[in-house]
Chains A and B, each alone.
Chain A
Amino acid sequence: MTVKVFHAELGTAVATGLLGVAGVVGANELGHGWTESGPEAGYFPFYVGLILIGASLWNLVAAFIHHRRAQAHLAAGGEADEPFLDGERARRLGIFIAALLAFVVVTLTMGIYVGSILYITWSAWRQGGYRLPLALGTGAGFALALYVIFEVIFKIPLLKGPIEPLLGIY
């Protein structure tokens, strides 16, 4: 799978533009006028939203123009731009993001300790090529360090899942 810089630029410009639209819509509910006692609550979000939309459109057009030029350059026998992501990189990044996502989901359901043990173990074992017991030990050691620093020393409770109460840890 290959992603071109052009597509990434388009996607980003559209996303920032949508954020601007959200700002304008949200500000519209609050009123964005200027009263005798200065701006209303929605004044700044409204205009900042408009500026964001405008700047995003500019970037969108700029991306198109750049793309057109690059195409012409290519047609004239020039070299293609470097892609945003190509096969190997995309695969590596995809795996990392998928693991991140899995980590967040496991953390939300099982708590941060289980989440980080699984995540660190998996990474050391599957990606780092360490033996499973060693990987598991690393993960567990890390979780223990988290527990000691946060819960014991600083008395800050971290996110826990259904398992910790069974072990008497709240």
Chain B
Amino acid sequence: MTTIKTGLLAATALLLAVPAQAEWAPSRPIEFVVASGAGGGTDNFARTIQAILTRDGIIDNPVVVLNKGGGSGAEAFLYARQNDGDPHKLIFGTNNVYLLPHVAKLAYTVEDLQPVAALALDEFLVWVKADSPYQTVMDLVNAAKDAPGTIPFGGSQSKDTDETLVALIEQTTGADFKYIPFNGGGEVGVQLAGGHVAANVNNPNENAGQWQAGAVRPLCVFAPQRMAESAPISGDMGWHDIPTCKEQGLEIDSYQMPRTVWLPAGTEPDVLAYYEAALQKVAESDAWKEYLAKTSQSASFLTGDELAKFIETSEGNAVKVFEAEGWTAK
């Protein structure tokens, strides 16, 4: 019985595959659905890829970008579910694709999307105001232990990557901060420079301008090793001179945000292969390397099993934090 079923399935698959002539190629304009508003980090990510794809002639079909940033990006992922099996829609996000359904009651699950690739990792750093008394991250943590719940820690959005990281620091060290959510990284950066919060965990390019001006300074980076060499940013310090948090005694190995590309679930395997190849070419282009350097993100091209493994680990770690904080939506 089962063999017949498998045989039938295989036959159907063959029948379906034959007219498509194995190699799939897009036959109409491709939609880039961006899980953030215009101007956000994800938006820049998608538009850079769009520019490289068309300029280098990797994809000849026109590419249009749609911003669906509502509900912290959930709008874009719901859109993917509504368009399942559509090979002409790519969804651009971060780790929010697989983390959002854990903290909010939403009408999609991560199974509604097919991961295609991760193209970059954005780092997280602990920043304080330049004249703040904290010299290492442990100074900050100990101060929060001495006076629990009084040190204001700014971050972008609620129950999102920033608050998750702050919660992770608290769970690792037993410190207690007062987390204040703002609308975006840029806003948190200015709140820190103005002294309205004591610290933040911004990505490098969200705080670089203020660092350059000497208004804020980084304490440490949540990465297994230091960031890549760069020209000095502030004084004689460059990105590579920032110690990792682990070096300073904060036991968090790594906390990074992937920039990810997804397809709606239910497309042919050829479609996935096609986009993987196209994005591979993007990741190898000089323009892409330039974008990574300018936005101080780390290069990392993941597809297939590697990507699945990365998502599994990243999701598992975050869910542990969510459960400890009682954020999981049921």
A contacts B: CB pair < 8 Å: yes
Q: Is A92 an interface residue (CB 8 A)?
A: no
- Residues of chain B within 8 A (CB-CB) of A165 are 28
Q: Is B269 an interface residue (CB 8 A)?
A: no
What are the interface flags for B136-175 relative to A under an 8 Å C-beta threshold, 1 for contact and 0 otherwise? Answer: 0000000000000000000000000000000000000000
Q: Is A128 an interface residue (CB 8 A)?
A: no
Q: Is B278 an interface residue (CB 8 A)?
A: no
Measured CB to CB, the nearest residue on chain A to B28 is A170
B-contacting residues of A (Cβ < 8 Å)?
Answer: 155-157, 165, 170
Inter-chain CA distance A165–B66, complex, in Å, is: 20
Inter-chain CA distance A170–B30, complex, in Å, is: 10
Scan residues 1-38 of chain B and give those whose CB is less than 8 A from a CB of chain A. Answer: 28-29, 31
Measured CB to CB, the nearest residue on chain B to A154 is B64
- Residues of chain B within 8 A (CB-CB) of A170 are 28-29
Q: Can you list 10 pairs linking A and B with CB atoms under 8 Å apart? A: A155-B62, A155-B64, A156-B64, A157-B29, A157-B31, A157-B64, A157-B66, A165-B28, A170-B28, A170-B29
Inter-chain CA distance A157–B31, complex, in Å, is: 9
Closest beta carbon of chain A to B232's beta carbon, Å: 40
- Residues of chain B within 8 A (CB-CB) of A156 are 64
Interface centre among A156, A157, A165, A170 (most CB of B within 10 A): A170
Measured CB to CB, the nearest residue on chain A to B65 is A155
User: Ordered nearest first, which 10 A-B pairs have the shortest CB separation?
Assistant: A170-B28, A155-B64, A170-B29, A157-B64, A155-B62, A156-B64, A157-B29, A157-B31, A157-B66, A165-B28
Scan residues 41-65 of chain B and give those whose CB is less than 8 A from a CB of chain A. Answer: 62, 64
Closest beta carbon of chain B to A85's beta carbon, Å: 37
- Residues of chain A within 8 A (CB-CB) of B66 are 157
8 further interface pairs, Cβ-Cβ under 8 Å (given A157-B31, A170-B28): A155-B62, A155-B64, A156-B64, A157-B29, A157-B64, A157-B66, A165-B28, A170-B29
Measured CB to CB, the nearest residue on chain B to A157 is B64
Measured CB to CB, the nearest residue on chain B to A170 is B28
Measured CB to CB, the nearest residue on chain A to B63 is A155
Inter-chain CA distance A156–B66, complex, in Å, is: 8
Closest beta carbon of chain B to A155's beta carbon, Å: 5
What are the interface flags for B59-78 relative to A under an 8 Å C-beta threshold, 1 for contact and 0 otherwise? Answer: 00010101000000000000
Inter-chain CA distance A97–B28, complex, in Å, is: 36
Inter-chain CA distance A155–B28, complex, in Å, is: 13
What are the interface flags for B210-222 relative to A under an 8 Å C-beta threshold, 1 for contact and 0 otherwise? Answer: 0000000000000
- Residues of chain A within 8 A (CB-CB) of B31 are 157
Inter-chain CA distance A75–B62, complex, in Å, is: 72
- Residues of chain A within 8 A (CB-CB) of B64 are 155-157
Measured CB to CB, the nearest residue on chain B to A168 is B28
Closest beta carbon of chain B to A108's beta carbon, Å: 14
Inter-chain CA distance A30–B157, complex, in Å, is: 18
- Residues of chain A within 8 A (CB-CB) of B62 are 155
Inter-chain CA distance A156–B62, complex, in Å, is: 11
Measured CB to CB, the nearest residue on chain A to B178 is A37
Inter-chain CA distance A1–B222, complex, in Å, is: 72
Inter-chain CA distance A155–B31, complex, in Å, is: 11
Measured CB to CB, the nearest residue on chain B to A169 is B28
Inter-chain CA distance A156–B64, complex, in Å, is: 7
Measured CB to CB, the nearest residue on chain B to A36 is B149
Closest beta carbon of chain A to B19's beta carbon, Å: 17
Inter-chain CA distance A170–B28, complex, in Å, is: 6
Inter-chain CA distance A158–B66, complex, in Å, is: 11
- Residues of chain B within 8 A (CB-CB) of A155 are 62, 64
Inter-chain CA distance A99–B28, complex, in Å, is: 33
Closest beta carbon of chain B to A2's beta carbon, Å: 43
Inter-chain CA distance A157–B64, complex, in Å, is: 8
- Residues of chain A within 8 A (CB-CB) of B29 are 157, 170
- Residues of chain B within 8 A (CB-CB) of A157 are 29, 31, 64, 66
Closest beta carbon of chain A to B177's beta carbon, Å: 12
Closest beta carbon of chain A to B136's beta carbon, Å: 28
